[in-house]
Amino acid sequence: MVVFVFSRKRCDDNAQMLSSMNLTTEVEKQHVRSFFAQCIQRLKGSDKELPQVLTMRELCLRGFAVHHSGILPILKEVVELLFQKGYVKILFATETFAMGVNMPARCVVFDSIMKHDGTEKRLLNPGEYTQMAGRAGRRGLDSTGTVVIICKDQSVPQPDILKNVICGQALRLESKFRVTYAMILNLLRVEQLKIEDMLQRSYVESDSLRESKDKRITLKDARQALGAMESIDCDTCSPNSQLRDFHDALFNFVCRREAIWPRLYEENVINKLVCSGRFIIVSNAAYQLQNECVLLVKELNNKTLQVLVPSKDADETSQKNSETAMFAKLPKAQMSWIAEENAMLSATKFGTRGSSQCPSNIRSFRLCEIPLTSVVAITKKVIKNIQSAEIFQEYNMSLIPRFRSIKIQMTKINHKYFFRDREVSENVKKLIQQISSSVSALRNKELETYSWKELGSFCQNLDLSLETDVMDSLENDLNIANGFPARHCTRFEEHFHILRERIKLERRIQGLEYELSTDALLLGEEYNNRLKVLEALNFVEKKMVSLKGRIACEIHHQELLITELILDYKFHQRSPAELAALLSTLTCQYNCGKELQFGSDTVFGQISESIKSVLTRLDAVAAKYKSQISDIGCEIRFDLMQVVYEWANGTPFYKIMEMTDCQEGLIVKCIQRLDEVCKDVSFSFRNAGRIVGDPALVEKMEEVSASIRRDIVFAASLYTTV
Ligand SMILES: [Zn+2]
């Protein structure tokens, strides 16, 4: 079983809390003990006795383990192998475990479906969820996999939220292509390139190219389909794009209406109008409502209204309910497309504020939850003191099969009232009769509704008069008999449908064109900004890569800062250990959580001062050209300087662990990346450095490497050597 916990500390805490539990047999313990001993064998002396090693061994012996970035790489591998062999029964892991090697489990548990992603606490997205939940079920061993989501503090997630996390469309894995300084320098060095060529070239290495290629193909197809589309041949609709004008006016009106309700609702007076017992007119695609007159029974807090919708009989009710269930399964884009069309067609059929004809023989009702944005108009008719509690009780009972009547006697149906196929109580029946008579009474005469002007005049806090005036005039245009000839076309629905298909394609084309243009634009902008930074800092001179630039282009991490530091003679006079400490600031990802103070007379004080002064200068130049020196997440951190200094001076790992709260795995990561930087720098100086006149630097970088490459930090991987 894997338990995903989105915090290193909570992973550790969870494992510690179960210290009294023992999940392994004596035989299994024997295996774990010998496997552990065999793996640890390759560590030197005191490294074998590191607290993390001992703790993990103790956990594994009892069938538990922890896996996250704070764990030493070699221990992570031990845990992975023991887990694969089935000796680790319960593993507490962070998300990284799901990204790595294939490690299926019978059961996956989510400690929470919220995670902190560095900037905010948010819900897991469907892609992340699938990545982790997909670990449940081992091929050939389990017929099914189990996923458990723990709901703490009685907070069970809303079904629709959960549904989106579990079944939602996975966000495309976005490996955002970035233009780095080194990349620009390398390209400029090869030959003089035009920006477009450069973008095209660097694009080749990125996913963006494949993506934009796909987009271009889709765009071409869409354009072709649009060209091949049948045109509407109609004396009423076609001339001067009459139908199109009508559609656009209608669309404008419907969009504005959707936007204005939530704003009006903020006003107390209007909020009070939207009360239990009020008749309102609504259009909603999910419930197949077209300007339907419904009774508001309850106003829910999240701008959702519960309404009773009259229905002819139980059959019609259940049929409509199943259509609603179907609608909910559609993709989101399709839902909003249908909703948009439904609102427009309703307004065409019944007028912008008119109501559809209510059935005369009402025998049943549906209870629907609709958003505020589905409201078409608020009527002036209210039923006082409505017994909504009783309605809900009846409704809920109707959902439970055993409370439904066994069989409806068709002969008696005329005297009975139903929720679904369950006959309602006498009280509710009376209420329904009361509503029916009101609706029927309203049916024949024009239903009086509040005009936009009236609603606007009620507002006390916001001045919405401008908006309501626009609504009124749009409504007027749409309603006058000879405003838009197209709406009187005898084949209106058919022609409207053809037009809508065309619009669907047009929107698709527009969307693709926009995406393609912004992709290229953003990249071009980033390139231009960074090129200006390079010119301002003399990495590029007269469109040519300078000597400085040639050094920087071989370094793959913080290339500008490192080059400036070297050429500023900040590397001079520094011992290998001091240089290691200096470089650790570029690769450290540990944040101790407090402001570090180094005395200006100490080595660390001098190092941090010299880095800060160079960085401030570079940052100022970059900011001027709307760019940055350090990418997000790669900022300079001084937190591990002392630790790395001691390590480079030969201090054993257990001793340096006593100096810091930083977890073992993060220290190892920092030092390993530091070694990569050393290699880059010495490679770069082997190529270009001699001209600069500091051959000693290559030697020095190799000394730094030699001082840090030892023991547990560079222990060989179990996967390649076992
Ligand atoms: Zn027509």
Residue 689 DSSP label: I
Q: Do domains 2-167 and 546-721 have the same CATH topology?
A: no
By C-alpha distance, which of 670, 712, 657 is closest to 580? 670
Q: Ligand 1 centroid vs 7 CA: distance in angstroms?
A: 62
The CATH number of domain 546-721, selected from 1.10.10.10, 1.10.3380.30, 2.30.30.40, 3.40.50.1820: 1.10.3380.30
For residue 173, the model assigns a pLDDT of: 43
Q: Which residue has the higher pLDDT, 444 or 674?
A: 674
Q: Ligand 1 centroid vs 341 CA: distance in angstroms?
A: 17
Q: Ligand 1 centroid vs 482 CA: distance in angstroms?
A: 15
Side-chain-side CA neighbours of 489 within 13 Å: the count stands at 24
For residue 208, the model assigns a pLDDT of: 57
Q: Ligand 1 centroid vs 487 CA: distance in angstroms?
A: 8
Residue 546 has pLDDT above 90, yes or no: no
For residue 344, the model assigns a pLDDT of: 93
Q: Which residue has the higher pLDDT, 287 or 619?
A: 287
Domain 2-167 belongs to what architecture?
3-Layer(aba) Sandwich (3.40)
Q: Which residue has the higher pLDDT, 30 or 570?
A: 30
Q: What is the secondary structure of 621-635 as a DSSP string?
A: HHHHTT--SSPTT--
Residue 184 has pLDDT above 50, yes or no: yes
Instruction: With cut-offs at 50, 70 and 90, classify the pLDDT of residue 178.
Output: low
Q: Ligand 1 centroid vs 244 CA: distance in angstroms?
A: 11
- Per residue in 418-472, pLDDT (tens digit) is 666 667 777 777 777 777 777 666 665 667 889 999 998 988 887 888 888 888 8
Residue 580 phi/psi, 5° resolution? -60, -45
For residue 678, the model assigns a pLDDT of: 83
Residue 690 has pLDDT above 70, yes or no: no
Q: Ligand 1 centroid vs 567 CA: distance in angstroms?
A: 76
Q: Ligand 1 centroid vs 345 CA: distance in angstroms?
A: 15
Q: Ligand 1 centroid vs 348 CA: distance in angstroms?
A: 14
Residue 329 has pLDDT above 70, yes or no: yes
Residues 638 and 591 sit within 8 Å (Cβ to Cβ): no
Q: Ligand 1 centroid vs 288 CA: distance in angstroms?
A: 25
For residue 688, the model assigns a pLDDT of: 66
- Per residue in 664-673, pLDDT (tens digit) is 888 888 888 8
For residue 44, the model assigns a pLDDT of: 80
Could you give the percent of the chain with pLDDT greater than 70? 84
Q: Ligand 1 centroid vs 479 CA: distance in angstroms?
A: 18
Q: Ligand 1 centroid vs 438 CA: distance in angstroms?
A: 38
Residue 111 has pLDDT above 50, yes or no: yes
Taking residues 56-77, what's their average pLDDT? Answer: 88
Among 193-197, 416-420, 649-653, which range has the highest average pLDDT? 649-653
- Per residue in 86-100, pLDDT (tens digit) is 888 899 988 877 776
Q: Ligand 1 centroid vs 489 CA: distance in angstroms?
A: 5
Q: Ligand 1 centroid vs 483 CA: distance in angstroms?
A: 15
Taking residues 599-606, what's their average pLDDT? Answer: 81
Residue 168 has pLDDT above 80, yes or no: no
Structure tokens at 112: 């929470």
Residues 4 and 98 sit within 8 Å (Cβ to Cβ): yes
Taking residues 26-49, what's their average pLDDT? Answer: 85
Please give the mean pLDDT across all residues of the chain. 79
Q: Ligand 1 centroid vs 232 CA: distance in angstroms?
A: 7
Residue 487 has pLDDT above 70, yes or no: yes
Taking residues 253-280, what's their average pLDDT? Answer: 87
Residue 618 has pLDDT above 90, yes or no: no
Residues 67 and 94 sit within 8 Å (Cβ to Cβ): yes
Residue 520 phi/psi, 5° resolution? -65, -40
Q: Ligand 1 centroid vs 235 CA: distance in angstroms?
A: 7
Contacts 24+ apart (CB under 8 A), 512-520: 512/215, 512/218, 512/219, 512/222, 513/219, 515/215, 516/212, 516/215, 516/216, 516/219, 519/208, 519/212, 520/199, 520/212
Q: Ligand 1 centroid vs 476 CA: distance in angstroms?
A: 22
Q: Ligand 1 centroid vs 227 CA: distance in angstroms?
A: 20
For residue 668, the model assigns a pLDDT of: 84
Q: Ligand 1 centroid vs 355 CA: distance in angstroms?
A: 25
Taking residues 81-86, what's their average pLDDT? Answer: 85
Residue 349 has pLDDT above 80, yes or no: yes
Q: Ligand 1 centroid vs 230 CA: distance in angstroms?
A: 14
For residue 340, the model assigns a pLDDT of: 93
Q: Ligand 1 centroid vs 496 CA: distance in angstroms?
A: 8
Instruction: With cut-offs at 50, 70 and 90, classify the pLDDT of residue 500.
Output: very high
Distance between CA atoms of residues 573 and 505, nearest Å: 67
To which residue do tokens 């301002």 refer? 536
Residues in the chain: 722
Q: Ligand 1 centroid vs 344 CA: distance in angstroms?
A: 16
Distance between CA atoms of residues 261 and 249, nearest Å: 19
Residue 61 has pLDDT above 70, yes or no: yes
Q: Ligand 1 centroid vs 484 CA: distance in angstroms?
A: 12
Q: Ligand 1 centroid vs 501 CA: distance in angstroms?
A: 15
Q: Ligand 1 centroid vs 237 CA: distance in angstroms?
A: 4
Q: Ligand 1 centroid vs 492 CA: distance in angstroms?
A: 5
Distance between CA atoms of residues 478 and 233, nearest Å: 23
Q: Ligand 1 centroid vs 289 CA: distance in angstroms?
A: 25
Structure tokens at 27: 């035989």
Instruction: With cut-offs at 50, 70 and 90, classify the pLDDT of residue 496.
Output: very high
Taking residues 569-573, what's their average pLDDT? Answer: 73
Protein residues within 5 Å, CB atom, of ion ligand 1 = 234, 236-237, 489, 495
Lowest mean pLDDT among 88-92, 448-452, 522-526, 586-590: 522-526
Lowest mean pLDDT among 95-99, 490-494, 590-594, 630-634: 630-634
Domain boundaries, the chain: 2-167, 179-229+489-543, 275-446, 546-721
For residue 175, the model assigns a pLDDT of: 40
Q: Ligand 1 centroid vs 491 CA: distance in angstroms?
A: 5
Lowest mean pLDDT among 163-177, 484-498, 537-551: 163-177
For residue 658, the model assigns a pLDDT of: 82
Assign 3-state DSSP to the chain and report helix, strand, coil percentages, each to 5. 55, 10, 30
Taking residues 132-158, what's their average pLDDT? Answer: 78
- Per residue in 355-386, pLDDT (tens digit) is 877 666 777 778 889 999 999 999 888 888 77
Distance between CA atoms of residues 646 and 653, nearest Å: 9
